[in-house]
Amino acid sequence: MFQKILIANRGEIALRVLRACKELGIQTVVVHSTADADAMHVRLADESVCIGPPPSRDSYLNIHQIVAACEITGADAVHPGYGFLSENAKFADILAAHNITFIGPSGDHIRVMGDKIEAKRTAKRLGIPVVPGSDGAVTEEKEAKRIAAEIGYPVIIKASAGGGGRGMKVARSEADLEVALQTARSEAGAAFGDDAVYIEKYLEKPRHIEVQVFGDGAGRGVHFGERDCSLQRRHQKVWEEAPSPALNAEERAHIGGVCAKAIADLGYSGAGTIEFLYENGEFYFIEMNTRLQVEHPVTEAITGIDLVHEQIRVASGGGLSVRQEDIRFQGHAIECRINAEDPRTFTPSPGTITHFHTPGGLGIRVDSGVYSGYKIPPYYDSLIGKLIVHGRNRVECMMRLRRALDEFVVDGIKTTLPLFRDLVGNADIANGEYDIHWLEKYLATED
């Protein structure tokens, strides 16, 4: 087991990882920018190293400084959290070259999944169902037209290097295709420095359903069920739940089994999430994330398993603590991402939190690094906390969520709490009847 883990992140996830390390009796080092000197995880860590000024590129993305912090403190492993360097293959390779363990998959697996064309090809080879479309990159208009005619309109053109919902264009007919192809290519080139694009069938009303997987790196793979993350705004997840209200037990076992086998065959190590669009009873792979996800606590709630413990175990060579048959799903969990944003316009609302009071009671978990008197710096994302609620079934979970939202107090800044108070009382949400466009339509009619 590791002696000392360096946490290369900030905010709620840095605290989340720190808690797991403390439970496992592992020493902790955190790195932070000058803007985060007062952060909760910095106060609670055994050691902290200031690695630079506020901009991420000079601090949380500064590989050189982070490796130096490992050497100075003698950390033998790095947990990257999510975002920042968590899916940076070069970072994983550099750490390996310094004999420091990256708590995550190999650089090669990160690289394959980071290139969407390659990821889709790999998924297909491993027996994972994918969205019908081109086999690889498409450059010629003639070829694009042939493929689009074959799969049928509408189609979507996506950047191979894409991320964060950028670099996608929908073409509803052949007349749109030429412009869509050209704009997608030039936007991809400008945004990602790589203009490779591919075509796939555009699904009109899918849900976003993702499967949590784990590999031990030695040919074993398991799944921890799915999460439904269909409630999104601008491709950013807002509310996540497990299990999905749309799946039955057979569908769950089937897609979970397919994913676990794929992970085993790939020889993958650590946590991963295989993301699908789901429509008319069919799953269509869109991408794989090779890290811990923001929404992992809903899976922890229904399985009772600490996924960060599991990541640390696997990375240290201790293998998975569970077999597939040990993983049981109990009840229902929902996570609300509470952002420091105006709940109507979603403009960021940094500033000082004058009063912070979190709900409690059975089935309530709050993952947050903020406290009364904390000043939210304007440099980073606006997530200030996650409320995760668990109940014996979805109805109980929703009752508890409504109550917990009423108890939550964040004064001094604007937050998205009022949005969740509206959503929890909505009939479609109560019935679990929503797709990936539901929230944006709802927000548009509210205005």
Which of residues 165 and 319 has its CB atom nearest to ligand ADP in the complex?
Answer: 165
Half-sphere exposure of residue 210: CA atoms within 13 angstroms, side-chain side = 27
> Measured from the CB of residue 87, what is the shortest distance to ligand ADP in angstroms?
11
- Say whether 218 sits in a helix, a strand or coil: coil
Our CB check for ligand ADP shows the closer of 78 and 128 to be 128
**Would you say 35 or 286 has its CB closer to ligand ADP?**
286
Nearer to ligand ADP (CB atom), residue 203 or residue 404: 203
Whose Cβ is closer to ligand ADP: residue 54's or residue 163's? 163
Q: Catalytic residue among 291, 313, 365, 400, which?
A: 291
> What's the min distance (Å) between Cβ of 83 and ligand ADP?
13
Distance in Å, CB of 329 to ligand ADP, minimum: 24
User: Phi and psi at residue 335, in whole multiples of 5°?
Assistant: -115, 135
| CB of 343 closer than 8 Å to CB of 405 | no
Residue 291 among the catalytic residues: yes
- Output 160 or 382, the one with its CB closest to ligand ADP: 160
Straight-line distance from the first to the last Cα atom of the chain, in angstroms, rounded to the nearest whole number: 54
Residue 37 CB, shortest distance to ligand ADP, in Å, is 33
Whichever of 408 and 434 has its CB closer to ligand ADP, that residue is 434
Secondary structure (H, E, C), the chain: CCCEEEECCCHHHHHHHHHHHHHCCCEEEEEEEHHHCCCHHHHHCCEEEEEECCCHHHCCCCHHHHHHHHHHHCCCEEECCCCCCCCCHHHHHHHHHCCCEECCCCHHHHHHHHCHHHHHHHHHHCCCCECCECCCCCCCHHHHHHHHHHHCCCEEEEECCCCCCCCEEEECCHHHHHHHHHHHHHHHHHHHCCCCEEEEECCCCCEEEEEEEEEECCCCEEEEEEEEEEEEECCEEEEEEECCCCCCHHHHHHHHHHHHHHHHHHCCEEEEEEEEEEECCEEEEEEEECCCCCCHHHHHHHHCCCHHHHHHHHHCCCCCCCCHHHCCCCCEEEEEEEECECCCCCCECCEECCEEECCCCCCEEEECCCCCCCEECCCCCCEEEEEEEEECCHHHHHHHHHHHHHHCEEECCCCCHHHHHHHCCCHHHHHCCCCCCHHHHHHHHHC
Q: What is the DSSP secondary structure assignment for residue 326, as one 8-state letter?
A: G
CA distance 151 to 331: 39
- Shortest Cβ 398–ligand ADP spacing (Å): 24
Q: 60 vs 438, which CB is nearer to ligand ADP? A: 438
Give me the least distance between CB of 408 and ligand ADP, in Å please. 28
- Please provide residue 275's backbone torsions phi and psi, each rounded to the nearest 5 degrees: -95, 135
**Least CB distance to ligand ADP at residue 160 (A):** 10
Minimum CB distance to ligand ADP, residue 382 (Å): 18
Of 208 and 400, the one with the shorter C-beta distance to ligand ADP is: 208
- Site for ligand ADP, rule CB under 6 A: 131, 156, 162-166, 168, 200-203, 206, 208, 235, 275, 277, 286-287, 436
- Minimum distance, C-beta of residue 239 to ligand ADP, in the bound complex (Å): 14
Cα separations in angstroms, 312 against 1, 82, 138, 220: 8, 15, 40, 16
User: Which sequence positions are flagged as catalytic?
Assistant: 291
